[in-house]
Amino acid sequence: MKNKNQVAVLSKLCALTLLTLLPLAIAAPVTARGQGATSEKISVLNQPSGPTDAGELETFLDGLFAQDMQKNHIVGAAIAIVKDGRLFFAKGYGYADLENKSSVDPERTLFKIGSVTKLFTWTAVMQLVEQGKLDLDADVNAYLDFRIPDTYPQPITLKHLMAHTAGFEDLHVGMVTLETEKLAPSHEWLARHIPARVRPPGQVAGYSNYGAALAGYIVARVSGQSYSQYVQEHILDPLGMKNATAHWPLPSALRAHESVGYMYNADAYQTFPQLSSHPDLYPAGVMRASVTDMARFMLMHLQDGLYGDAATEIRILHAATARQMHGTLYAPHPRMLGNAYGFFEFDDNGQRVIGHSGSGEPMESILLLLPDQNLGVFVAYNSLGAGELNRQHFGFQRAFFDHYYPAPGIEPLEPPSDFAARAERFTGAYKWTMSSYTTLEKYLALTGPTIYVTNPGDGALLLESPFGNWRIVEQEPLYFRQVDGPFHMTFREDEQGRIAYLFTDLTPMMAFDKVQWYETPGFNLPLLITSLLLFLSMLVVALIRFIQRLRQGAAQPAWAWPIRTAFQVVVLISALNLLFIVGNMMWGEQIVFGIPFAYKVTLGLGVLSAALTLVALGFVVLAWKDRYWSAVFRIYYTLVICAAVAFVWFLNQWNLLGWRY
């Protein structure tokens, strides 16, 4: 880290990155449809077969990258496209090292590929399944030297990990560090950071880095090699991926070729600090690779586990295994997009697509495979602003598919005549399942996107989000489609028949929980702001009284002991609560690096304030019984104590009361 400004920027980015990337995929209506959604009247008009001329492709990509890199402040990028069993196109754009003016080389420049690493993890899992060393349906505890709690009767299996349906909550505390000497030994981090199981496995998707890390640890345990060494020997080396690695720190031969990471701040490009994750988390996102090396990985999957031709056959997976990996493992509805065995279904403009995006701060990437077209695309960017471009169905994918696979026509839907009578059961607020439920990270849901479903009274439902509004129409019970597009959603009921979940084609890796009114930002933020204003006003009142006593001295009569104590308690509560908010803003953003001591002290302020609030409730009774102060001031005093009670409720509701991490 170069300066305090970078520390502040980095802390905020790391704390919020995982909360902003995935949900933004629901930003607006798009032309993406599920493979099984065949009941709509869709006309396919002269559907092109994708890129066929390398010269035309280069012209298109040159313009696209020039536009996107300028708009999003991206220093360097690269792309590789494979088609019909060979590398069809590869090119680098901009700089891998801005200071030294080193251009991006598509063959040699290494990018952090972030969560695209998980595809190598799942490939390794399937290799061991082929060898009979792993069973996808077995309890994962059979392969571990620590135990995942038996919260539910159903055990978690490798299939659940691959489909992100294990039911883990999402945690980020202590995931990264700037100091490699503070990295926990292998096994220790996973065993000490087991997330709570908050729903039965197999029912609902909730993207989980921990689940992928757990699978990688199982690979290491069963194979007898470290995860990094296994991937190197059994996937990278056989494929000839010489400019790719799952090791960290980078092997010395590759260090000179790694792209520098950048962020744009204060109208200038700044070098992004090098973050390190614990070895246990390597399977979730450690890899670096050049785009042409990633082309080899794509070719292998497109050729059902085979790389090369008959003369140079290299088989990474059996054909049946590769086809299994590409098939649907979980979907919330038979006609919706879901999750394959590690891949996600990103079907777009009538094309079958599987893929994965990756964020290795500050770098972004996306891998897309079109099995029916025998085509694969991998794009990588080295700057933080590229978060706008690697979202499935948006950014690069949107531009590429609209150019080479234009959307087929679709007939608009009319609302069912009888839907208005049952529309209200769907209305409410929904938050994403990639959330914490039992730790202090739960409060981050307040900054995450909330989808509000309302009933406009015209037979459709209106979905309102921070990123756009659109109308959906019921096609069959609980199953909806965008009024003027192919985007699908479905709702799911709980055991009592109440609407509990919302699922979308655009986010197969997660669902959205329906939340109670008191869990919404619309309730909590006004409550918090009102309480803080009352606390601040009490400090102003205390300051005014202090100044008056200084000026008037003995001329101003002193309050009796109980009255004075009652006033001092409410002033102290107000100060503690305001300090808690300040401390949370200063140190709460740094939890991805661990819990700072200052933040532990901040959490203690909340506990002390809660204890004093109980005392203050007694003083409220005495104030009215014994008529402390004037009636107006007693009302004001009572309001401040009510705000203190509300603040205690707020802290407890969002797991900020005490040390819950």
Residue 267 pLDDT > 50, yes or no?
A: yes
Band of pLDDT at residue 466, cut at 50, 70 and 90: low
Look at residue 624 and tell me whether its pLDDT is greater than 70: yes
* Cα–Cα distance measured from residue 97 to residue 76, given in angstroms and rounded to the nearest whole number: 8
Instruction: Give the phi and the psi of residue 212 in degrees, each rounded to 5.
Output: -65, -40
The pLDDT score that the predictor gives to residue 408 is 85
In this prediction, residue 511 carries a pLDDT of 95
Kindly tell me if the per-residue pLDDT of 4 is higher than 80: no
Across residues 194-211, what is the average pLDDT? 98
Q: What whole-number distance in Å separates Cα of residue 237 and Cα of residue 307?
A: 12
Q: Per-residue confidence at 410, pLDDT binned at 50, 70, 90? A: confident
| Reported CATH class of domain 413-519 | mainly beta
Task: Indicate the pLDDT class of residue 275, thresholds 50, 70 and 90.
Answer: confident
What are 94-148's pLDDT values in tens digits? 999 999 999 999 999 999 999 999 999 999 999 999 999 999 999 999 999 999 9
pLDDT recorded at residue 196: 98
In this predicted structure, the answer to whether residue 620 has a pLDDT above a threshold of 70 is yes
* pLDDT tier for residue 186 given thresholds of 50, 70 and 90: confident
**Nearest-angstrom CA–CA distance, 263 and 271:** 6
Give yes or no for residue 416 having a pLDDT over 70: yes
Domain 35-44+53-409: CATH architecture, name and number where available: 3-Layer(aba) Sandwich (3.40)
Is residue 62 predicted with pLDDT exceeding 50? yes
Alpha-carbon distance of 365 to 78, in angstroms, equals 10
Work out the pLDDT band at 417, boundaries 50, 70, 90: confident
Task: List 102's β-bridge partners, or say none.
Answer: 97
> What pLDDT digit, counting tens, does each position of 281-307 carry?
999 999 999 999 999 999 999 999 999
Alpha carbon 115 to chain centroid, angstroms: 11
Confidence of residue 551 (pLDDT cuts 50, 70, 90): confident
Average pLDDT of the residues in 632-652: 98
Q: Burial letters for 204-240: b for 16+ Cβ neighbours within 10 Å, e otherwise? A: bbbbbbbbbbbbbbbbbebbeebbbebbbebbbebbe
* CA dist., res. 433 & res. 438, Å (int): 13
Per-residue pLDDT at 184: 74
Scanning 278-383, the segments in alpha helix (DSSP H) are: 282-285, 291-302, 319-326
In this predicted model, what pLDDT tens digit does every residue of 353-374 receive, in sequence order? 999 999 999 999 999 999 999 9
In the block, which residue shows the tokens 């996600």?
344
Among 657, 194, 655, residue whose Cα is nearest residue 441: 655
* 252-266, 288-302, 497-511, 557-571: range with lowest mean pLDDT: 557-571
CB neighbour class for 559 (10 Å; exposed up to 12, middle 13-18, buried from 19): middle
Distance separating alpha carbons of residues 211 and 385, to the nearest angstrom: 27
What was the pLDDT predicted at 465?
A: 80
Are 407 and 349 within 8 A, CB to CB?
yes
Q: According to the model, what pLDDT value does residue 558 have?
A: 65
Instruction: Give 140's contacts (C-beta < 8 A, 6+ positions apart).
Output: 148, 155, 156, 157, 158, 161, 214, 218
